[in-house]
Structure 1
């Protein structure tokens, strides 16, 4: 034992010295600690002052509640194997997921059992026939989800978050010094603009007041004043719950500046808000796996038009990214969809299987029915909010998303005053995200299986909790 410990004794002694002598701590830190480790330690220790960061985490950190601070009784969703002769519908209704509070934030959302179970597969080759078939079918299913039949359009499926979609656009479809018009309805327009600027584009934001969206007249005027290579619009801004009218915006673009590429950030809309890629003449819709599509985080999903692919092909300079290069990924996607193994970078095999399961479920029924279910659930939530005397950030009905609801808190309340109360009831809501008013509202996500699965009572319990919590805080 002494032999095994001997190499550690100097380190242990040094650590002991740092506790006994602050000066020794400084010497040790300066001589051995790396700057990166020092930065990491600052982020891990919430008691130390942290640098101001323009990120969702830095905003939500100030308005959210730590789960460990709250005692709660989670909804029981334990799985018990049904008796041998039990009805099949009873077996199907049982969940195999461990007990957990119901997550009703604007993503990640609750998962269907079949989606999670489809990830529990053995290791397989990403160029083997089994996975190639699944990947190819998944790309074809994405065409159905985005409602495109054009042979010139192309789905892309990459390992990464939704944010990777911004890099994909900024590094392929616009070049240094070219102009981008960013329609601003919340935090994520700021971030998309920052991404475009990172790659050298000139990003001009057309901003609307919080809870609103730029008018079509303002968009038309902006397009007349300058030539823009791309226009970006967030379909549903997760920070405000504002819904943009993508069809109307695109019509304005095609009338005034037909060569401008229309880029839709659909991270919080694809799967619950209507998107007709061909009919609306869109160029790019980017999204991610963890919201209304109903998969775990980790997949960046894009649909590109033939016009967008041509813009990438004819750019004057090479793509500004290696991993996010259309030039590198296009033949991979084409080969997989044709059933041929191909390789550029390793795909997330288990996540692709989960996406295949989710998309199979989604496309097994008419998409119009899915959108209608989300509209109905959203209206129930918004009616309940109004009956409680509360307001949304988006006050006009046409600006209100069907994916989520951003609820203004009564004067004098902040998210930490109410979020723990929801948590005690086994429900997880999100704090505010818009950096200007983060402490003034909370966010309720209602998309995916929480509204489409008739066996779940998530929305009913959430509405009951809203009434109990807000009536309670009034007393």
Structure 2
């Protein structure tokens, strides 16, 4: 009855957000919000960092619900549908989604505590700050970590992976699809192929925090075992959701582990029944889910899956080339060594000689655009970062790319940079 109301009512009247109350087995509309409320966002500095990104008005409005129980008959189907929609975004039929309150960092804890037992070997492909951090997390849970560290701006080669896995049998290999600190894009498909061939028992783990929703990533086709991400980047939802999808093989490894899971909150033993219950349209409690964020996630996932994912990937490639071409024409140099190794959802750029980090960031902000400084510890003061994912890439009519290019061009000129 609830689902039927949700599907039919928007076709009949111009309203959004319903709250249903069960009285004597009859459902009544309790709360109604008009579409007009989301017609525009207040003026603000355009957020063009590599996450959080700019959010669609409908996503923000979806959060404007009155207090709602996490086991409300209005909320349960929304959560359940969101779990199912995630499979479409990750391009998997049988992968198990987890949606948990937390940041993308929680995904590292879930992988480390559920899939790796103390003393087991983990291989980390490191292309920046987040490879260092994932390594640290794995060590906390007792893993023996080996790193393949790339030079700044370079990505791990297939030969380097082949050489590493020929020396030792690893329980997992972790790949940072896009390291947000460097803007380097890993060859997940190529790496997965060599791992499947040379070390088929090794679980393939992808940190997709800065890639899911903007970079090509095919969970089933590429034989990935876990992809972890967060809500605030290309998925286009405010921060607060840690999202992870695990393969059937990964779930079996978790179920057959020999030692206790050394985490309470991150344990799949607690979360798997919750995900299964909500997907079956039943409520269950372990820890309170962020109801309003899941409403927002549901809205964003529907937007994302309304067009073929191939189209979305191409939109981000086009946006990336637009930004990079414009900055290249100004004579700026990029942190990734070449375009093939450069992310499509963000760009990392070296400051021109004579331009101070604080000066450029503040000058760009004076043009009502926010960009990010450097994050990689070794070169943090030498470069800056621009995000171009989500609606900034998929809805060119918003002119976010035009705005950030103009702000950077004008700011550099005002700081005395003459370009090429």
CA contact (8 A) 1:414 1:441 kept: no
DSSP-derived class of the 1:438 partner? coil
CA contact (8 A) 1:264 1:285 kept: yes
Q: Who is 1:147 aligned against?
A: 91
- Between the aligned partners of 1:249 and 1:360, the Cα distance in structure 2 is 31
- Between the aligned partners of 1:126 and 1:469, the Cα distance in structure 2 is 47
The alpha carbon displacement at 1:95 in A equals 4.6
Q: Who is 2:43 aligned against?
A: 99
The alpha carbon displacement at 1:204 in A equals 1.0
- Whether 2:204 is the aligned partner of 1:262: answer yes
Q: Who is 1:441 aligned against?
A: 383
2:60 pairs with one of 81, 94, 116: 116
2:221 pairs with one of 263, 266, 279: 279
Higher helix share: 1
Matches within 5 A, 1:252-331: 252-331=194-273
Higher strand share: 2
Indicate the structure (1 or 2) with the bigger Cα radius of gyration. Answer: 1
Q: Who is 1:375 aligned against?
A: 317
- Between the aligned partners of 1:396 and 1:451, the Cα distance in structure 2 is 21
Structure 1: 5+ residue stretches without partners: 1-90
Q: Who is 2:19 aligned against?
A: none
- Between the aligned partners of 2:336 and 2:398, the Cα distance in structure 1 is 28
- Between the aligned partners of 2:207 and 2:413, the Cα distance in structure 1 is 37
CA contact (8 A) 2:38 2:61 kept: no
DSSP-derived class of the 2:411 partner? helix
- Whether 2:341 is the aligned partner of 1:427: answer no
The alpha carbon displacement at 1:465 in A equals 1.9
- Whether 2:81 is the aligned partner of 1:137: answer yes
Q: Who is 1:239 aligned against?
A: 181
What TM-score results when the alignment is normalised by the length of structure 1?
0.79
- Whether 2:175 is the aligned partner of 1:222: answer no
Q: Who is 1:199 aligned against?
A: 141
Q: Who is 1:450 aligned against?
A: 392
What TM-score results when the alignment is normalised by the length of structure 2?
0.89
Q: Who is 1:248 aligned against?
A: 190
The alpha carbon displacement at 1:469 in A equals 2.1
CA contact (8 A) 1:179 1:229 kept: yes
**Change in CA separation of 1:415 and 1:92 when aligned onto 2, cut-off 3 Å:** farther
Q: CA RMSD in A?
A: 1.3
The alpha carbon displacement at 1:121 in A equals 0.6
Q: Who is 1:41 aligned against?
A: none
**Which string of whole-angstrom CA distances, capped at 9 and with x for unpartnered residues, describes residues 336-372 of structure 1?**
1111111111100000000000001110111111111
Q: Who is 1:208 aligned against?
A: 150
- Between the aligned partners of 1:369 and 1:322, the Cα distance in structure 2 is 40
- Between the aligned partners of 1:293 and 1:309, the Cα distance in structure 2 is 24
The alpha carbon displacement at 1:471 in A equals 3.2
CA contact (8 A) 1:102 1:428 kept: yes
DSSP-derived class of the 1:392 partner? coil
CA contact (8 A) 1:93 1:455 kept: no
Structure 2: 5+ residue stretches without partners: 1-34
1:390 pairs with one of 332, 357, 360: 332
- Between the aligned partners of 1:94 and 1:117, the Cα distance in structure 2 is 6
Q: Who is 1:360 aligned against?
A: 302
- Between the aligned partners of 1:310 and 1:185, the Cα distance in structure 2 is 30
Which segments of structure 1 move beyond 6 Å, counting only runs of 4 or more? 91-94
DSSP-derived class of the 2:237 partner? coil
- Between the aligned partners of 1:316 and 1:240, the Cα distance in structure 2 is 38
**Which string of whole-angstrom CA distances, capped at 9 and with x for unpartnered residues, describes residues 135-160 of structure 1?**
0000000000001113xx21000000
How many residues end up aligned between the 2 structures?
383
**Change in CA separation of 1:254 and 1:92 when aligned onto 2, cut-off 3 Å:** farther
